Structure 1
Amino acid sequence: MKIALTLALLLPALAGLAQPTLTNDGATLSVGPGTMLYVAGAVQNNAGSTLLNAGTVQLTGDLTNAGTLASAGTLLFGGAANQVFTPGAATVATLVLNNTGAPGQRTLALPADLAVGTALTLQSGLLRTAPAATLTLPDGATLSGEGPGQYVQGNLRIIRAAGSGVLDFGHGLSLDRSGLGRVTATRTAGLLTDNLSRGVNLGNTAYQGIDRIWTVETAAAPAAAVPVTLSWLADDDNSLSSFAAAQAWRADPGTSAWGKAGSPAAATVAGSSRSFSFATAALGRLTISNAANPLPVELARFTAEPLGADALLRWATASEKNNDRFEVEASADGRTFRRIGQVPGHGSSSQPHEYQLVDPAIARYAASLVYYRLRQVDADGTFAYSPVRTVAARGLAGLALFPNPTKQAATLTGAEPGVAVTVFDAVGRLVLTLPADAAGTAVLTLPNGFATGVYVVRTGSKALRLTVE
């Protein structure tokens, strides 16, 4: 017969002093299965100390770990005022938050990264990460209990292995993961920080989206439009008053140049819950706004193509807000850009507009590929960059790569039949090698999971740059 034991440490609080603390200084403290260690105060696990928990450790104060904390059991934060968990190098299986303090006084703060391997359960209170910290739930770990006034603020990352069909990640993201491989979805919420937790129109920061952004990274790029549903709480409406005409937006990871994803439609609103469904051919950063809050100057198209010895750049906008001008920039290496021209914008307009610029004699760059981007500048000086486009310069005996940029695959033409074609990443590691066929063509498909960036394609003595988005 097993007997569950509870050890309660009731540490007396002295008036005017900090919360009482149980300090482990150089010892090993073990909590066995079926056993609870209850601490009415804080726990300090110093460097050189070990806390092994296979049962339950419940505390009403802070938990600071500078030593070894291995919790295969449950850590239960059950205070009545704000608490802090400084994890250090902790391993945690189950984390439960049941802070019963008054609103504004029941937050568990997480100042550093933490992975919770089995379950995160919210019974009462908010769990808030620092802006630079991430709480991660690896594949198989579960999240339960989120609701109004009771959810994870900051960065919550959920990882799921390859699979098929529609999957609800549990933190407001649902998508069809078929063919995407491993999916990592990071939700940043509740921080009220421009372009960290909420999308912002760079031309007019009064135009903002909800206070949630999901960053979706996949091992394989989508082969077709992916059905997505985003859900959020009224807590994160960010003062948007109506979602009768909601709009999804996406941006590349690490950028804040937002573009429309799908079409505007009514969001589903039920009490304090909201959701919006759409389809997008590219993932990345995703968020929601409404018709009254457009996020970008909406760049509908940007192309670059050869025109004799020149390059013809053409782009179009679907709408503009306070758009002063476009500065056209070029680069011979895809890293260092300089301005080569400027085209005035149309201020604020809901009508589409077409633009173009010719860059003459691009052989002057002495590069096989010339890289181009747009720097869109608003009336107040704020700016955003477009995606990068490339044009092959003449003089390489017809050697060409297309499409370039690409998501994963490109075709090389003009190579010498039978000669090896190799692909190297930005640090010189060999990624792919194959021979050109009898027509001098090679289809280059990067293996799943390779990072975006610039790759080098070589055949014989010639080399071209391939940009993977």
Structure 2
Amino acid sequence: MRKLLTLLAGGLLPALPAAAQDLTNNGATITLTGGAILATGGTLNNSSGTLDLSSGANQLYVGGNLVNASGAALAPGTTSTVTLNGAAAQQLNLNGASLANLTVNNISGGVALPAGSNADVAGALALTSGMVTTNASSTLRLLNGATLTGETSTRYVAGNLAAVKANVPAGAATTFPNGLTVTPATPLTNLTVTRTAGLNTAQLSYGTNVSGSNQGIDQIWRTSAPLTDAAVQLIWLAANDNGLSNLNNSQVWARAAAPVAGSGWTRISASQNANGTRTVTGTVPATASFSFFTVSIAAEPLPVTLVDFTAQAEGPAGVRLRWATASELNNAGFTVERSLDGHAFAAIGTVAGAGSSTVRHEYSLLDGTLPAGAALLYYRLRQTDADGTASYSAVRTVGLAGPNQAGFVLYPNPARRSAAAIGLPANALVEVLDATGRRVARATTDATGTARLALPDYLPAGVYVVRTRTEARRLLVE
């Protein structure tokens, strides 16, 4: 023990000394009994030995870090309370030990769990001031029966907050203190729900589509066992809206495996207005099995199960469309749409979906009636759910080498940062030249006869020449 701390019995809170004091236990046993209070304005380091709070409603106040070293014993009992009441950043490093009750009343700087150091709370976790933040590899866990109070958008557990329920009965709603409610058709035992929130990290605390242009809220819930045939309700904090300003069309999204960039998310609810409540409900059908859950909106959905979509010329008068899904939920089918200008689309055929499935499905459709004289065609998929909700794929283009086509075409034209030269032989060199004849970009066509031209960011607006060994076209850069 480096400095003397105040230790009282009878439940009286001592006056803290003017200077912060540290307490280090090097192999002794520190025991509080009968509602005693131990307070330190500095760090409490239980480096070895025992910190025993188990006999009575004892209180431990720590103004600095609370460290329970690996191998040291911490006996919390069932009624003791640890309060972290520092005026600067504090660290809670229990190395897997548990507390009976924990109150966070940090005035400035918050409380952090270091990497790889988990902490358990068996009774009540109360947040009265300050954020609690875990590392991506550490978790604050609420054991079976534990409660959480005081979360707001300015004080909550950011990172991994897990909650355990020993029994989740069938047909009854069981609410986990980290914002997920589960109503399963069959009973579940020892279910752990981990909420990862507020880390602003794609595929960790929020999901995205393939390109990363669309994203969900900054909260993802993970269940220790997959949910099947169960209703779920998700509640999140306004601090984690993640840029979704209009929540009129909020939806529940789910996936079976850990999030990665792009495919795998499946919508399991209709659109709901969550502007006032930040609460949405969804249903995992009996034909599906999901472990990860989050929220997005209809205008900016997470990726549907479409994982591949191609359009290629097939013979002199046909285009073959092929696509695949990784999983489907209530998928009524697909409509293939075609356009001559990339803006006005019309349906050319439909293909039935697989309904609900968690395995890969591949689809194909041949467009055998092409518009006469077309040099470039645009295609997209319209996927329709059983409830009539529709979403669209990205657009694919096909250059046609017909008798009415004179050489290659450029798309888009005008362009900004990129363009494609379509309808050329494979392995052909394509160059972009400015008004002085200086080359500013080049590319070689792929097996489909397409050269993808990346235009430099510094390129000024104007007219450029795109040329091959035998032909040239004008490209307008905006």
TM-score clears 0.5: yes
Alpha-carbon separation, structure 2, partners of 1:188 and 1:120: 17
Please tell me the residue identity of whatever aligns with 1:173: L
**Which residue pairs with 2:252 in the alignment?**
248
Q: Is the 8 A contact 1:59 1:76 kept in 2?
A: yes
Please tell me the residue identity of whatever aligns with 2:39: Y
Alpha-carbon separation, structure 1, partners of 2:335 and 2:237: 29
Please tell me the residue identity of whatever aligns with 1:63: L
Task: State whether structure 2 residue 382 is matched by structure 1 residue 351.
Answer: yes
Please tell me the residue identity of whatever aligns with 1:245: N
Please tell me the residue identity of whatever aligns with 1:30: T
C-alpha displacement at 1:295, in angstroms?
A: 2.1
C-alpha displacement at 1:45, in angstroms?
A: 1.3
Q: Is the 8 A contact 1:173 1:231 kept in 2?
A: yes
**Which residue pairs with 1:53 in the alignment?**
53
Please tell me the residue identity of whatever aligns with 1:351: R
**Which residue pairs with 1:364 in the alignment?**
none
C-alpha displacement at 1:52, in angstroms?
A: 0.9
- 1:71-150 aligned within 5 A: 71-72=76-77, 73-101=80-108, 105-111=109-115, 112-150=117-155
C-alpha displacement at 1:89, in angstroms?
A: 4.4
C-alpha displacement at 1:56, in angstroms?
A: 0.9
- 1:12-411 aligned within 5 A: 13=19, 20-46=21-47, 48-54=48-54, 55-66=58-69, 67-72=72-77, 73-101=80-108, 105-111=109-115, 112-160=117-165, 161-164=167-170, 165-182=172-189, 183-201=191-209, 203-218=210-225, 222=228, 224=229, 226-256=230-260, 257-270=263-276, 273-281=277-285, 282-299=289-306, 315-316=324-325, 349=380, 351-352=382-383
Unaligned runs of 5+ in 1: 14-18, 303-312, 321-341, 355-378, 380-469
- Larger proportion of strand: 1
C-alpha displacement at 1:90, in angstroms?
A: 2.2
C-alpha displacement at 1:168, in angstroms?
A: 1.5
C-alpha displacement at 1:119, in angstroms?
A: 1.9
Q: Which of the pair has the greater relative contact order for Cα pairs under 8 Å at 6+ separation? A: 1
What secondary structure, in the 3-state scheme, does the structure 1 residue paired with 2:268 have?
strand
Alpha-carbon separation, structure 2, partners of 1:120 and 1:319: 52
Percentage identity across paired residues of the two chains: 31
Alpha-carbon separation, structure 1, partners of 2:64 and 2:15: 12
What secondary structure, in the 3-state scheme, does the structure 2 residue paired with 1:26 have?
strand
Unaligned runs of 5+ in 2: 1-7, 310-321, 326-332, 337-363, 366-376, 384-391, 394-417, 419-478
* TM-score, with length taken from structure 1: 0.59
* TM-score, with length taken from structure 2: 0.58
1:266-291 Cα offsets, whole Å, 9 max, x none, are 23222xx5111121223310001112
What secondary structure, in the 3-state scheme, does the structure 1 residue paired with 2:239 have?
helix
Q: Is the 8 A contact 2:21 2:40 kept in 1?
A: no
In structure 2, the CA distance between the partners of 1:221 and 1:149, relative to structure 1 (3 Å rule), is closer
Larger Rg: 2
Please tell me the residue identity of whatever aligns with 1:213: I
- Number of matched residues? 307
Please tell me the residue identity of whatever aligns with 1:193: T
1:333-358 Cα offsets, whole Å, 9 max, x none, are xxxxxxxxx99xx999452399xxxx
